[in-house]
């Protein structure tokens, strides 16, 4: 069992470097999530790994520990309604302005979220050929591991079925010996970049649409406030923000108003 002092120190390390709040008495979770790294880096106990983390400036160990502790769970068209709202409300409104649309998928995990957005763009363009505007998607995450998978655009038989209809699988993927590869026209709209949400976003520029879903649930109130304010600064009035189905933004910033529609809710930059 990890002792109280080591646990407190490890909790601080995670909160400082990636915002993740462990909470009380999650020693079991820490031990189980780090167990594979112990073997790989030849540490006898979790305490030895924590000691190495404290001593060494090895960025590989640090980033592998963060990878092991964060949750990468995702799926295609997760929750479905944000993607329907894009198609039915947001794209028609923004495309009418005849200006390029920049979309940011913050905390994109292995790519299902930004590629799902790109598929919706493709479907919308096919059905509205006279209203085309350039659309680009920036997809960021803290984890090198998930970004490598996302950039490859190749998914195994199990992950390809989670949230994708047979029709979309057929239309947007090609079958390869090593899995299912997303087609080039969907992939080329998306650019992946490593970004820690704890850092500044100013260099990213402005976005018309931001997806920041199912990541801040694990963060402290102060950190959420800081991140939502940071996101708001990267958007002009009228821009749209999508958060996770169980996440509320109102208590952290007043930069957004809630728009409730029959499909679900989204936030609009005031």
Binding site for ligand SAM (CB under 6 A): 18-19, 70-74, 78, 107-109, 113, 141-143, 146, 196-198, 213-215
Nearer to ligand SAM, 70 or 234 (CB): 70
Q: What residues contact residue 61 under an 8 Å CB cut-off, 6+ apart?
A: 41, 49, 52, 53
Sheet (strand 135-141) strand order: 190-194, 135-141, 101-106, 207-212, 235-243, 264-269, 256-261
At closest approach, how far in Å is the CB of 228 from ligand SAM? 14
Nearer to ligand SAM, 104 or 173 (CB): 104
Burial class (CB in 10 A: 0-12, 13-18, 19+), 85: buried
C-alpha 241/C-alpha 97 separation (Å) is 18
Nearer to ligand SAM, 149 or 253 (CB): 149
At closest approach, how far in Å is the CB of 19 from ligand SAM? 5
Please give the helix or strand (H or E) that residue 63 lies within, else none.
helix 59-69
Task: Residue 166: count other Cβ atoms within 10 Å of its Cβ.
Answer: 8
At closest approach, how far in Å is the CB of 163 from ligand SAM? 9
Nearer to ligand SAM, 4 or 217 (CB): 217
At closest approach, how far in Å is the CB of 211 from ligand SAM? 7
At closest approach, how far in Å is the CB of 195 from ligand SAM? 6
At closest approach, how far in Å is the CB of 15 from ligand SAM? 10
* Helix (H/G/I), strand (E/B), else coil: 45: coil
Nearer to ligand SAM, 49 or 139 (CB): 139
Sheet (strand 173-176) strand order: 154-155, 179-182, 173-176
Contact 160, 119 (CB under 8 A): no
Nearer to ligand SAM, 95 or 112 (CB): 112
């Amino acid at each position: 069992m990890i002792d109280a002092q080591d646990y407190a120190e490890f909790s601080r390390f995670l909160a400082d470097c990636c915002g993740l709040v462990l909470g009380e008495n999650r020693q079991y979770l820490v031990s189980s999530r780090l167990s594979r790294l112990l073997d790989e880096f030849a540490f006898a106990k979790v305490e030895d790994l924590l000691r190495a983390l404290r001593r060494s400036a090895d960025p590989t160990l640090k980033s592998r520990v963060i990878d092991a502790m964060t949750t990468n769970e995702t799926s295609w068209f997760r929750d479905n309604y944000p993607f329907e709202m894009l198609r039915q409300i947001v794209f028609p409104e923004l495309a009418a302005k005849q200006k390029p649309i920049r979309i940011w998928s913050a905390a994109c995990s292995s790519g299902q979220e930004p590629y799902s957005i790109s598929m919706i763009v493709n479907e919308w363009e096919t059905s509205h050929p006279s209203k085309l505007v350039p659309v680009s998607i920036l997809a960021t995450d803290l984890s090198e591991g998930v970004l490598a998978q996302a950039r490859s655009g190749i998914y195994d038989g199990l992950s390809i079925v989670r949230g994708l209809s047979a029709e979309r699988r057929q239309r947007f993927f090609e079958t390869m010996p090593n899995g299912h590869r997303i087609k080039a026209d969907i992939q080329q709209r998306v650019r992946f970049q490593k970004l820690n949400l704890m850092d500044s976003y100013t260099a990213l520029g402005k976005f018309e649409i931001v997806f920041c879903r199912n990541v801040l649930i694990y963060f402290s109130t102060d950190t959420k406030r800081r991140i939502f304010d940071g996101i708001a600064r990267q958007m002009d009035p009228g821009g749209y923000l999508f958060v996770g189905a169980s996440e509320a933004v109102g208590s952290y910033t007043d930069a957004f108003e809630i728009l409730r529609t029959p499909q679900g809710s989204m936030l609009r930059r005031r």
